Structure 1
């Protein structure tokens, strides 16, 4: 035990010394209020031994580390919540403010994933029927094409082999097999499976243009992300060119930016500073304005959110129809008048009374297990929100935010997590109104460990030193390839919670939450990584009875 404490002293003292050495005026990591989960950079070399404690008495060493490190002046304004538990023995190894509420950031996705597995199961698939409302005469269909969304998050480049529009292929094949070359009506959304707001409760309005803060709806395309490839003109003073993807014509783009001489990029006393390139939406979000200047020969790619998710989905379907030379005379309209059981144009609905609406085909998602991995490993916010809303819809028949919160709260209560332990406001953790305790997180981890879907849940989590948001953390330590954990990042909030197996084969649950710090985010990660790799390399014999 003495050797363990000495080792702890060396590591803790080295960490505190290294932190103090780096305590020059801190430059805050470039994390906006709601930045998406980044993959952490390689560990910055510090004067801290990389060897992990792996000897009897690890629980005492961990306690010493926490007491010593968190006593450092750099943490005087921060709040830490820590809970480490032996899974099989239900034995608390270490607890520090484990019953206080913390902003979890994307650790909220652990709750969302667990609740969804409870209500959906790993084999669940979203279905998006595509309907024909009208009659066919020869190669012309007289009527509308309707799309009945249910919140499928998998119609994206990431889950469709690099081509989100491949989800439409079977529908287009069927249209061509029927000989339809022209649709006289419109392409319209049908139904309102996810009513109400398209963004989460308490999301920051100034993040709405960012891809990680994109809105969601029952029709969502490419995880809400639009890519703009911008290239400077061939001549000085000529406009830049802009190419959109994955939608080809949506949204509208107004180009005001011009090409400047490369030499004018340098700031001088006699030349004014050139205007930087700016890419923003107009006030209603239907047009992107590209302004400023760009050096001759330069190019860049900008990621924006689709402000109106259903518009983007239907625009992409319109692109796919044009590529197959199927014209839509009435165009693509995303917001028809409300009517009956859902949103649909009144003209189309009245016609539906005279004849049956024909199901052209159904777009089916990949399995929920595949969606879960895509949500957890890179921490994909829009998928989390769609999963959150889908859980509410499947459990109650109502896909609103209120229903999703109510279903989630009831499910958590069944695992012993009450209103004193959690404020469950959205699915992704982007809301700064989300709060939970480290003990609540550990109870979710325990509930999943006892669930028949444990392997699906565990395999969806990022793996230390291997993939996801901790691909570059804890490398060359016993935690690499061992710890499976979810990160969380908001401004002044950092989280890491999950599973790790010790050197003597004990499965451990851990939740490490930190709020209100003013040091660089990487300093929080140092402490988290130190504790996880110490658990991975340690031994945890049973306590004497």
Structure 2
């Protein structure tokens, strides 16, 4: 096996790349290593650490509740003078996603005509609940409140150009439809004709600046989408070939709490509730600075917390938002999330960045001092050190791996995988990993009969870094742990990924 791997790494296309590999038995016994103690960017392999900590410290059955509270003076005829506040509590799946996750049939693409559940269905359900209470008019505002976590939409060293796209969406305790909208560009019916642009959900949120034309047949697509930081103007320009397939992109929502408030206000008005005020967001600005300590012992034990994250959904300090505190308070609507274990499956199978970041903040809130990025990272650090991972073998500044400052060694990743295998939550967590040739981010890899359905691993790609770590069922029937990481490969090439898969094949054949 060592000779096979050495030969693969001597191939011209990957010989200049920086490689790190750790292969161990399920009991931790070493099998093979190469630069296992050197630091690499984990990319989405960071989700292994975040989701394992969430399963261990938050619990597979944990749920989170979103509520709509009415505060103010209630009058005859269904009148409310005050405000409605939609309070987010970190539910990652206020969307049209179907849970539990169902793996697609290998090689079979979903029918484009099947739209599935509406992306804002849970807001619609809560709007129905509110209308059913008899509310007819609101003299005040609809407020999207995400103050259960401080407003830290982006982690350190997230690339600025990522913020335009759905995979780089801002993080909010009130997250809706993965904090993204779908933009579909379709060619016109003649060369030179304007191309059509459709937004889904069809919400009055972004102002569109469109300069899209229809190019010659078979000319391809040159669609570009841009949005300046903090702006709500989305610029869409370029050309798309006549008779070509529509260009579909996921665009990040700049302020998810504000978007949710706008959506709920529109839904209430559609149900006959007259709203005199506006839709707006309510954030909690973080005033205290925190460092990302590399020392353990920096977190607070959950037993010392006065309230649980499930209970802590009441917004505080109304006066700071210009809201009268007089009158009474009523809960008009609520929605309970799916179990945390179901969200972990989505997070790992789809490599969902937003969901990993929400889990990190939930860890900080439940087991640290607050739902901040730094507190979440400290909780993960404490968990990993207690699991036997060397404190100098990793540094995480977010939960998803989008940060360019994240670092980890292959041996730390292998140690986590080995530790997890002995825990009560292991079966559920392992089932969240993509399966080679079957589902998630490994659906199109390991499609040979010898490996299909036998590789359970998390992928990772960020710039010129790539990673793959998990478990493989070998030719002997024995399961082994592996972590393969690559740094500094040439941009826009995939030779390292192909060699990575061949290394897994070599591991499986030799053990």
Following superposition, the deviation at residue 293 of structure 1 comes to: 5.7
Q: Which residue of 2 aligns with 1:183?
A: 138
Alignment of 1:115-514 (within 5 A): 115-137=53-75, 138-159=77-98, 162-190=117-145, 192-231=147-186, 241-255=196-210, 257=211, 259=213, 277-282=223-228, 284-291=230-237, 300-335=247-282, 346=319, 351-352=324-325, 354-514=326-486
Alignment of 1:511-526 (within 5 A): 511-518=483-490, 521-526=493-498
Following superposition, the deviation at residue 164 of structure 1 comes to: 2.8
Q: Tell me if the contact between 2:120 and 2:177 (Cα under 8 Å) persists in the aligned partners.
A: no
> Which of 112, 131, 134 lines up with 2:50 in the alignment?
112
Q: 1:177 and 1:100, CA in 2 relative to 1: closer, same or farther beyond 3 A?
A: same
Q: 1:258 and 1:442, CA in 2 relative to 1: closer, same or farther beyond 3 A?
A: closer
* Offset from partner CA, 1:372-426 (integer Å, 9 cap, x none): 1111011111111111111111112401111111111111110122331001111
- Whether 1:530 aligns to 2:502 is yes
Q: Tell me if the contact between 2:95 and 2:121 (Cα under 8 Å) persists in the aligned partners.
A: no
> Which of 14, 18, 26 lines up with 1:75 in the alignment?
14
CA RMSD of aligned residues (A): 2.9
Q: Which residue of 2 aligns with 1:43?
A: none
Q: Tell me if the contact between 1:373 and 1:461 (Cα under 8 Å) persists in the aligned partners.
A: yes
Q: Tell me if the contact between 1:501 and 1:535 (Cα under 8 Å) persists in the aligned partners.
A: no
Following superposition, the deviation at residue 170 of structure 1 comes to: 3.9
Following superposition, the deviation at residue 121 of structure 1 comes to: 1.0
Structure-2 separation of matches of 1:131 and 1:335: 14
Bigger mean CA offset, 501-510 vs 317-326: 317-326
Structure 2 unaligned blocks of 5 or more: 100-115, 287-313
Following superposition, the deviation at residue 296 of structure 1 comes to: 7.1
Following superposition, the deviation at residue 238 of structure 1 comes to: 7.4
Q: Which residue of 1 aligns with 2:5?
A: 66
Q: Tell me if the contact between 1:129 and 1:149 (Cα under 8 Å) persists in the aligned partners.
A: yes
Structure number with bigger Rg = 1
Q: Which has the higher helix share?
A: 1
> Which of 80, 92, 103 lines up with 2:30 in the alignment?
92
**SS of 2:356's equivalent?**
helix
Structure-1 separation of matches of 2:438 and 2:240: 38
Q: Tell me if the contact between 1:132 and 1:359 (Cα under 8 Å) persists in the aligned partners.
A: yes
Q: 1:441 and 1:171, CA in 2 relative to 1: closer, same or farther beyond 3 A?
A: same
Following superposition, the deviation at residue 279 of structure 1 comes to: 2.9
Q: 1:184 and 1:531, CA in 2 relative to 1: closer, same or farther beyond 3 A?
A: same
Q: TM-score of the superposition, structure 2-length normalised?
A: 0.83
**SS of 1:460's equivalent?**
coil
Structure-2 separation of matches of 1:293 and 1:72: 39
Structure-2 separation of matches of 1:337 and 1:204: 24
Q: Tell me if the contact between 2:377 and 2:397 (Cα under 8 Å) persists in the aligned partners.
A: yes
Q: Tell me if the contact between 1:210 and 1:304 (Cα under 8 Å) persists in the aligned partners.
A: yes
* Offset from partner CA, 1:341-380 (integer Å, 9 cap, x none): 957653877532x333211232211111111111101111
Structure-1 separation of matches of 2:183 and 2:15: 44
Count of matched residue positions in the alignment of Structure 1 and Structure 2: 466
Structure-2 separation of matches of 1:291 and 1:476: 41
Q: Tell me if the contact between 2:60 and 2:339 (Cα under 8 Å) persists in the aligned partners.
A: yes
Structure-1 separation of matches of 2:213 and 2:410: 53
Q: 1:228 and 1:93, CA in 2 relative to 1: closer, same or farther beyond 3 A?
A: same
Following superposition, the deviation at residue 239 of structure 1 comes to: 5.9
Q: TM-score of the superposition, structure 1-length normalised?
A: 0.78
Structure-1 separation of matches of 2:368 and 2:229: 36
Following superposition, the deviation at residue 168 of structure 1 comes to: 2.4
